[in-house]
Amino acid sequence: LYTENLGHKCWNGDDSWPFTLGLWHNDCKTYCDAFAWCKGYTDHLMENKNGDLVVVTCELVVDQNMYVEAGNSWPIGCSGTDFKLKDPSMHGLEVDVKKNCGVCHNCNKGTDTCDKCKGTVFGTGSLKKDASDNKYNCYSKGW
């Protein structure tokens, strides 16, 4: 069961930058349902030519401890690095995701030395008000 939080991004409980995995489509709920470590998702909306808001991308919000306990390793590379995520509900198929760990300047693409979110704790989760012109909605799972 998800709680809809309009005009907010899903965030870590201690207000630190969360580890998220971006998808280039609008079906984060299906993927969040498949992974216990997914604590919710944030939709990014934009206006289409008719002026209607549509989801263009979404991000799974990751509990890092649960993610590692599930057998995943930390994705190497800067925010924006693409990698494959194995989807347990799709019997060996992989999903293309984009690592998001905070904006980092002068990042060395072969390391993760400037990840703002590595080691942060999701905890109880929180909401971050959308202060930009972009539109975001957080759908929290169980918090």
**pLDDT band with cut points at 50, 70 and 90 for residue 116:** confident
Between 31-40, 48-57, 68-77, the lowest mean confidence (pLDDT) is in 68-77
Of 117, 98, 90, 80, the closest CA to residue 23 belongs to 98
Q: What angle do CA 13, 18, 24 make, to 5 degrees?
A: 135
CB-based contacts of 49: which residues, under 8 Å, 6+ apart?
none
pLDDT of residue 128: 94
pLDDT band of residue 4 (cuts 50, 70, 90) is: very high
CA 27 to chain centre: 12
Contact 58, 23 (CB under 8 A): yes
Nearest to 99 by CA among 85, 120, 86: 85
Q: Is the pLDDT of residue 38 over 60?
A: yes
pTM: 0.87
Strand order in the sheet with 82-86: 2-6, 135-141, 38-47, 53-62, 19-23, 94-100, 82-86
Query: 60 has which bridge partners?
Result: 21, 41
Does residue 107 or residue 74 have the better pLDDT?
74
Q: What angle do CA 72, 118, 92 make, to 5 degrees?
A: 20
Average pLDDT over residues 65-72: 89
pLDDT at position 2 is 97
Residue 79: per-residue pLDDT: 78
Whole-number pLDDT of residue 80 = 80
